[in-house]
Structures are given as structure tokens and as C-alpha cells.
């Protein structure tokens, strides 16, 4: 079976694209990806999305958008794209379960994943004291001492969430000021459980079976300090999920998809939306806006393709009649 439109990723961008394509009658297939629902699934409360003055839980918001996409006949498939062939006609998508999909048009909305520190013990201790999801793992650290690394909205939100259950939260940032919104910063400085450590970098992780402590370096004074902690939460940015697109669409140096007019990739019939094209804003409302654009453009492309096919058929019928 050749699908008219396949959407890779089921975060806000992918789901919004599905709504617009579905309303236009193209019943897209959404491949849910490695994190079904995208980054909002890791967020307890979204306070800056229009229409929810009291805020809304991330998973709850995603569920509402998905329900809306299903209403317009979007279909969903569990799996993750591991390789594509966009030079083929139709375009081919290979999933991690060895399934092969074919499509006339594709929207890439695969989002981003948390960036690691890159230290030797880090990978070994993921899930054993090191986490990239405070919302997921906070309950395991009730009454314990934890640290969060980062200086953006995500890091500060994680610290606030952890402060609800932990005994103490260290917030470690390599600069002397946060880049997070002022509203979140005010909450941080009014939370007595949180101790901010500016100008500090984690240079060593210590632990065998579980995390035991970390070593910090002061970037100004070049002094070292040890912190005995039970949990370390990483919130130092993210990298795009585009490794499966190598040599298929143009990417920038960091791996984000290069686009023209917001959503057009370097391949005809292939569009991109959401954090996978957005190294700067990384906001839910931006992702849904780009998802809307990608859905509209994909529909436009498919309608043009349908019109070309109909024209070719009419042209062929005309030639047959002349011969007769």
C-alpha cells in the first residue's frame, strides 16, 4: 500500500499537521516515533499555550490534540523511522520493526532528544541515578538530595518539580545568569529547597552500581567541589532526531533540517516541522504553527500531484480517440 501522506513524529507539530491533512481528506498515517506525544509528555504543566489560562498538563494537552487528529481520520502506527529513501518513487520509510512504508509525501516532525554531558560514567548510570526526565523520575527521589544541570526553562521547571518531593535541589549552571523566563526564575528564587550554583560545570561523575557523587569545576576560579547526591537530572539542551536522514535531506551543522519558507526541505514532497527545524524557539505554540504550515503545504503538493495525474489521463484518452 502506498500512503498519500506519512507523518514521522507524534508531538504537537506532527499531530497538528495530521489535523490539517485529515481535514483536507488525506487521512495521513502518523508514525509515532521514539517518544510518542513528543516533549510535552515530559512536562507536568504547560502555562504558555494559548487558550489555557490556568495551564494544562502536557500529556493531557497531547491527548486532546491526538483525539482531534483521529476525528479527522488520522491513523497511528507504533514505530520509529531508522532509514529513508526519498530518491525512490514512491518514497520509502524503513521502521525499527523491519516494516517498510511507502508514501507520495512525507512530513518530518521527529523533534529532539536531551543532550548528554558526554562524561565516561554517564551512559552506564542512566536510570541508576542519572535521568533526563525530572517529571518521569521525581517520585523516586522523595526526601533525597538531587541536582539539575542547565539554565533554560526546562532546567528550572525540572528543579521546581523536584523541589516538591526532594529534600534539597542543587541547580547547576555554567554561566552567571539563567536564560530562562523571568516568571520561572522568580519561582526558583522563592523556593527554599533550591540552591543555585552559578559558573559551575560537572566534570566527573562517580558511581559503580548507582550514582554516588559528582565533581564540579568553577569556570572562573578553577576550583573543584564535590557534591554527594542521589540523583542528577540533565537539562542542557537537545539534539535533533535526524540521524536517519543522512544524505537524504539537507541538514545544518547541528543536524537540524534546513528549510525554505519555514517547512520546505531540499526534497520535493518532503516537509518538516517542529523542533527538528527549530534550534532557537523550541516552544509548543511554534511547533503547532509549523505543523499547520507543513500540513497545508503537503495538502497543496498532493492536490497538485493529483491534478497532474488527472491531466495525464485526459491527455492519454485524447490520443486514443484520435487513433480510433
Known catalytic residue: 136? yes
User: What are the residues whose beta carbons fall under 8 Å from the beta carbon of 102, sequence distance 6 or more?
Assistant: 1, 2, 3, 90, 91, 92, 93
Mean of pLDDT over the chain: 94
pLDDT at 279 (0 to 100): 86
Q: Is the pLDDT of residue 297 over 90?
A: yes
The CATH number of domain 123-234, selected from 3.50.50.60, 3.40.50.300, 3.90.1150.10, 3.10.310.30: 3.50.50.60
Q: Which regions of the chain carry the CATH code 3.50.50.60?
A: 2-114+238-316, 123-234
Please tell me the distance from the alpha carbon of residue 304 to that of residue 293, in angstroms, as a whole number. Answer: 17
Q: What is the pLDDT of residues 146-182, one digit of tens each?
A: 999 999 998 999 999 999 999 999 999 999 999 999 9
> What pairs with residue 8 in β-bridges?
31, 108
Q: 150: number of CA atoms within 13 Å, CB side? A: 25
pLDDT in tens, 50-95: 999 999 999 999 999 999 999 999 999 999 999 999 999 999 999 9
At 255-280, the pLDDT tens digits run 999 999 999 999 999 999 999 999 88
What is the reported pLDDT for 128?
Answer: 94
Asked whether the predicted pLDDT for residue 281 surpasses 90, the reply is no
Catalytic residue at 133?
A: yes
Q: Is 292 annotated in the active site?
A: no
Indicate if the pLDDT at residue 320 is higher than 80.
no
307, three cell numbers = 491534478
DSSP category for residue 42: G
Q: pLDDT tens digit string along 4-54?
A: 999 999 999 999 999 999 999 999 999 999 999 998 987 777 888 999 999
Q: One of 85, 133, 218, 292 is an active-site residue; which one?
A: 133
**C-beta contacts of 81-87 below 8 A and 24+ residues apart:** 81/8, 81/31, 81/33, 81/110, 81/244, 82/244, 83/244, 84/244, 84/245, 84/248, 85/248, 86/248, 86/249, 86/267, 86/270, 87/248
- Residue 186 pLDDT > 70, yes or no? yes
Tell me how far apart the alpha carbons of residues 221 and 214 are, in angstroms, rounded to a whole number.
18
- Checking if the pLDDT of 232 tops 80, the result is yes
- Residue 95, classed as helix, strand or coil, is strand
Give me the catalytic one of 137, 158, 230, 275: 137
Place of cell 498519500: 4
Q: Which three cell numbers stand for residue 266?
A: 531540499
Q: Which CATH number, 3.50.50.60, 3.20.20.150, 3.90.550.10, 3.30.360.10, labels domain 2-114+238-316?
A: 3.50.50.60
pTM: predicted TM-score of the whole model, two decimal places:
0.82
Amino acid at each position: 500500500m502506498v500512503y498519500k501522506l506519512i507523518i514521522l513524529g507524534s508531538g504537537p507539530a506532527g499531530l497538528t499537521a495530521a489535523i490539517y491533512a485529515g481535514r483536507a481528506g488525506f487521512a495521513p498515517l502518523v508514525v509515532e516515533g521514539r517518544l510518542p506525544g513528543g516533549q510535552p509528555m515530559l512536562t507536568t504543566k504547560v502555562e504558555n499555550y494559548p487558550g489555557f489560562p490556568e495551564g494544562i498538563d502536557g500529556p493531557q494537552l497531547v491527548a486532546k490534540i491526538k483525539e482531534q487528529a483521529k476525528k479527522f481520520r488520522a491513523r497511528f502506527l507504533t514505530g520509529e523511522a531508522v532509514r529513508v529513501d526519498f530518491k525512490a518513487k514512491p518514497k520509502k520509510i524503513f521502521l525499527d520493526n523491519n516494516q517498510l512504508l511507502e508514501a507520495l509525501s512525507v512530513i518530518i516532525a521527529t523533534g529532539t532528544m536531551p543532550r548528554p554531558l558526554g562524561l565516561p560514567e554517564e551512559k552506564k548510570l542512566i536510570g541508576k541515578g542519572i535521568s533526563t526526565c525530572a517529571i518521569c523520575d521525581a517520585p523516586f527521589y522523595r526526601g533525597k538530595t538531587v541536582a539539575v544541570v542547565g539554565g533554560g526553562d526546562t532546567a528550572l521547571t525540572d528543579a521546581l518539580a523536584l523541589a516538591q518531593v526532594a529534600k534539597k535541589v542543587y541547580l547547576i549552571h555554567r554561566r552567571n545568569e539563567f536564560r530562562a523566563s523571568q516568571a520561572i526564575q522568580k519561582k526558583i528564587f522563592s523556593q527554599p529547597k533550591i540552591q543555585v550554583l552559578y559558573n559551575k560545570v560537572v566534570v566527573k561523575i562517580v558511581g559503580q552500581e548507582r550514582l554516588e557523587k559528582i565533581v564540579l569545576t568553577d569556570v572562573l576560579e578553577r576550583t573543584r567541589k564535590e557534591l554527594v547526591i542521589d540523583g542528577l537530572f540533565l537539562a542542557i539542551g537537545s539534539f535533533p532526531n535526524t540521524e536517519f536522514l543522512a544524505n537524504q535531506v539537507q541538514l545544518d551543522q547541528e543536524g537540524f533540517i534546513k528549510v525554505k519558507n519555514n517547512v520546505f526541505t531540499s526534497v520535493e514532497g518532503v516537509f518538516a516541522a517542529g523542533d527538528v527545524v527549530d534550534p532557537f524557539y523550541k516552544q509548543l505554540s511554534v511547533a503547532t504553527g509549523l505543523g499547520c504550515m507543513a500540513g497545508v503545504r503537503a495538502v497543496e503538493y498532493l492536490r497538485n500531484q493529483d491534478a497532474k495525474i488527472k491531466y495525464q489521463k485526459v491527455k492519454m484518452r485524447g490520443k486514443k480517440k484520435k487513433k480510433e
